[in-house]
Amino acid sequence: MAAAVGNDKFLTDLDVRIWLRDNDPNANLLLADYEFSPEEIRTAMTLAADYWNEQPPNIGCYDYTHFPWRSNLLKGTSANLLFIAAHRFRRNALKYNAGGLSVGDQDKHKEYDEAGARLWEEFKVWVAQMKRAINIERGFAVIS
């Protein structure tokens, strides 16, 4: 099992694996392995944190080990992992016939892209709303 990232307060590899049902290699019948490597999980976390950091206004800068909103980082991370998997499925897609059956076991990119797009849209909307709320709060702060 991959080592956890950060500490118990922040999102870990295991949190991501459990949410995506990628915590048991034996349950991945076609792979007999984890679907996502620890490096892919950390890259997906980094991409989600980077999206927060790069969206205006510049309010707080975080990396994936210190991102204070676990559930939203999980959405952004999961979306990025689904996009990574979709790309892998597109690259490896090959339909073939075997024993009179048509097989396309790697033809899953559309489903992964759609699931990722839903999560990514939720994450983007949350980022915009949260940054707006923080910006307004700071603009109306009381100065003593």
Q: How do the domains of the chain map onto residue ranges? A: 36-139
Q: Which residue has the tokens 């996502």?
A: 36
**Confidence band (pLDDT; 50, 70, 90) for 4?**
very low
Q: Which residue is it, tokens 């003593």?
A: 144
pTM of the entire predicted model: 0.80
Instruction: Report the C-alpha gap between 90 and 118 in whole angstroms.
Output: 19
Reported as a single tens digit per residue, the pLDDT across 19-67 is: 999 888 777 766 667 889 999 999 999 999 999 999 999 988 999 999 9
Check residue 104 and give its pLDDT: 58
For the chain, helix (H) and strand (E) counts, in that order, are 4, 2
